[in-house]
Structure 1
Amino acid sequence: MNSMKRYISNTVESIPPSGIRKFFDLVTQMDGVISLGVGEPDFVTPWHIREAGCYSLERGYTMYTSNQGLLELREEIAAYEKRRIGIEYSPEKEVLVTVGVSEAVDLAMRALLEPGDEVLVPEPSFVSYAPGATLACGTAVPVPTYDIDQYRLRPDILSRYITPRSKILVLAYPNNPTGGIMYEEDLEALRDIIIKNDLLVISDEIYSELTYYGRHVSIASLSGMKDRTIMMNGFSKAFAMTGWRIGYACGHQDIIGAMTKIHQYTIMCASIMGQKAAIEALRHGETEMRKMVDNYNYRRKLILSGLQEIGLDCFEPRGAFYCFPSIKKSGMSSEDFCEKLLWEEKVAVVPGNAFGSSGDGHIRCCYAASIPNIEEALERIDRFLRRHKEIRISNIV
């Protein structure tokens, strides 16, 4: 077959494929694999939310909505965010319903970036931010965070990476892949730097309800930060609604207006059935959501103790549903470790370098899997480590 690569945009060609999806695709081709790879709840969307989506179809809701999303949903989002982070957003002007938070990130970057503008991305980080900056003609600038700091972004380290071209700081806490969170005092320390350098903030708060130490604090809630922050959230994680693809962005009406303009031409609107289900989630979904969060917390403790018992150093995650253990003692790179573990023991985890160079020497383990699967995966990882330890010793001898 003839190659057609000469027609592909150089920008697109320069972007590596997602390190998460690489292993996900391998898993789908193998039998008997336990996946701790993709960050997806193993819970089914609660019945009353599914029923709302089904009922919307039965009532004939199969049409377009406003580009910004159903006003009824935007009103519920504004009320929810006032309860959650104490900020009042105008449903008419400051809320946009998107196809997941991923679209919201893409829209914000395309609406704000000019060629040469820099986006500061604390790493390890979710895989979309740096490619999103590139596709929007910006430049992603990795800013390292460390397990010794509980993966919190330190203001002195951030300051080293700011240049006159810096325009956006991405804050994604609770963090994927590390499980790190930012406390109010951490955000206060960043605020002065952000304002002094005239930065805007993309605050991805999709895991905000999955916080196990205290209550999540949004940087948008700090004095002087509401207008500088595009706060993003959605329904995938806390409400187990990954496939519904409903997210949203809240922020200054000028920025939301610019994002909506792009959204009009590329997406039109999010699915009306998904929006109807999201309304039900916000109105009556908190009880089920709290049950799921409690269950994640139990799994968090289970996998953390299990990883530590089999000899992997691991920072205690304080949010989201991921552990990020170090595999440096194995003597393998993250890629080698994950590939060998998959083929030898049929356990899928994600190499840490998929989340930036700061993640090398680590793996991401998602504990949104079932408890029996977590327990079995730990046994298989233990067996894998013991076998390779014996191989290393025999090679030395």
Structure 2
Amino acid sequence: MSYCLNLPADYKSDLPCFGDYDVVVTGAGPAGIASAVTAAELDLKVLIIERLGFCGGAAVAGLSGTVCGLYKSVENPSQAKPEQLVFGFAGRFCDALYAAGGLTEPQIYGKTWVATHDCAKYKKVATDMLRQPNITVLYHTQVVDVIAAENAVTGLALHTKSGFTSVTAKRFIDASGDADLVFKLGQKTRKGQNGIIQNPTMMFKVGNVDMETYLNYWGENTISPPKVVSMLEAEDDLLRKKVWLFPTVNPGELLVNATKITGFDKRALDVTNPVDHTEAEQFSIYQAEAFFNFMKENVPGCENSYFIDYATEVGVRQTRSIDGVKTLTNNDVVSGTKFSDGMVKSAWPIELHYGDKPRTEWLVNDYYEVPFHTLVPKEGKNLIVAGRCLSSEHEALASCRVTAQCFEYGKAAALAAHISIKETLDFQAIDGNRIAQLMQKA
């Protein structure tokens, strides 16, 4: 890619300064929300930056719509009760969302459970949490570049509707999901397995579904039954053959996760490439329309349904991962590895979205832990990540990237930022066992 913008080499030193903070968080998805709120409650002055006009990240803009990773996995969920595995900030946020009427009861998803959330209520609950004296929120703001000295991030160059500006801070939490700050600092990142990353998806909602008829046909498991998979395998125009449909908090409404997004030439797309990202958005519209038509024609209860809307943007499962002090391995996940510095538990399956059918590998009646230093880049000072860009192998990321765990990564990053500032420690030098103990206290 060639660059046509000829900025002077020292342009960042001439930018007006928006402000100076203890912690700057980039990205207001689940990890960013948890980071900002936790840091503020530790009496740190926080700025959170979001490129869109609302918080929620892929959970809202991508309409991912379900809180995954909260519960244990069992062999037969229809004969068991859901047992919550993750509490902390994830539990706090979900409790608030449920109290606001924005979260369903647990629904069976394969061998575990998920809860489906309402995006409008999600925005409101997150906004309530972020509106406090120690937090400044900047929406519609793009991070242009990092300002660095001696391999340490000291500030960010931003672009707003009023033009370019800068911010400075003691510590930075990269909750972009794409390791944007780590990448802009010039530190090592990787993408998937030999550059192959998971497919994006386009979520959408459907209304006026006869839910009783639909549920009698589909069953209580939100994953498509074999009879539906067989029909999809006979459809050439529908690229994905195993799909997920979730009843929402709203009567007669289904949240649909049923698209596989490729290029128009069927190539795999990398959404950190702006050309691929744009093509993903375009291709997704046709796939969503095709599956909606399939639903109306083939799924009882959907005959009179109508298309409500697409997600604001294509849902991204994977882009860059950092090169961390520690790396969560594929074997750690399938073996249920526990760590002394484990900051969060997970029983979510390895859920690879590549090819016609998502491949799922369950961790039944067990869980693994994610060690703290998967959030810490090997190189670079003053900077920690939170969210799906943590250091993990390809298949491990297909498990550890989900919502409940991302909330906890955000909380852990904020706890670490507090220690780093108060004790003048680099993130690499923080004892992960301390973070694990602090995570268990709340």
TM-score between both structures, scaled by the size of structure 1: 0.26
Greater fraction helix: 1
Normalized per residue, the structure richer in strand is 2
TM-score scaled to structure 2, two decimals?
0.24
